[in-house]
Homo-oligomer: A and B are copies of this chain.
Amino acid sequence: MSRPVMKREIIEESAIRLFATKGLARTTIKDIAAAAGVTEGALYRWYDGKEEMAWKLFNRELDQFTRLVSDVLFDDRMSFDLRLGLAVQTIYDYYQYNSDQFAFILLTQHGFPEDKLLTRETEPMNLAVNFVGEAMGAGEIEPCDADLYAGLLMGVIMQPLVLHRYGKIELSPETPGLVTSACLRMLGFQS
């Protein structure tokens, strides 16, 4: 093509947007190609197939997101509660400004076959476990089941975003702060 920008990026953006709205299974190659203004074959220049493309995009987006979050979550120049608050803010900002990417990783995380069970250091759950473990070790929160509390933390932070995505609740600039407070109370943080 004569256009300077590669169609590859357009294809990937279209795919992520469609995956995030219609879901992986309900999005066809034809859909993606049409949205990107490209023929169906173009996709195979860059990927072996639909499944492989989805999987690679998922990992790329998840990596980017978790890196962003862990950067503030484990910045030990700040106090425990401040780090949590900033992480929540980062997540909610990410949701607001990269809603397709966010919805894509959030909603398709369980849409892959079993053999794709991702176990990696940067996995969100591991982030939460490490964070709770650190806070417990530092005596900032009472001793507890770190795995369980990490799960609770994830639930509290993520659920409002899921519900917003499906039009069940509204978000406001105050929401991240309210969520953070709720987390701290739940963890029994002594403020």
Contact = CB atoms under 8 A, between A and B. Distances in A.
A152 B147 contact: no
Given A107-B110, A182-B186, A186-B182, A159 B155 contact: yes
A37 interface: no
Interface stretch (A53-61, A92-100, A163-171): A163-171
Interface string A95-122: 0000000000001001101000100000
A148 interface: yes
A48 B106 CA distance: 32
Contact of A188 (B24, B156, B185): B185
Interface residues of A, number: 39
Q: Is the interface of A mostly helix, strand, loop or mixed?
A: helix
Contacts of A107: 110
Nearest to A154: B159
21 contacts: A23-B25, A23-B111, A24-B25, A25-B25, A25-B26, A26-B113, A125-B163, A144-B178, A147-B168, A148-B160, A148-B175, A150-B169, A151-B168, A152-B156, A152-B160, A155-B155, A156-B156, A158-B159, A182-B186, A185-B186, A186-B186
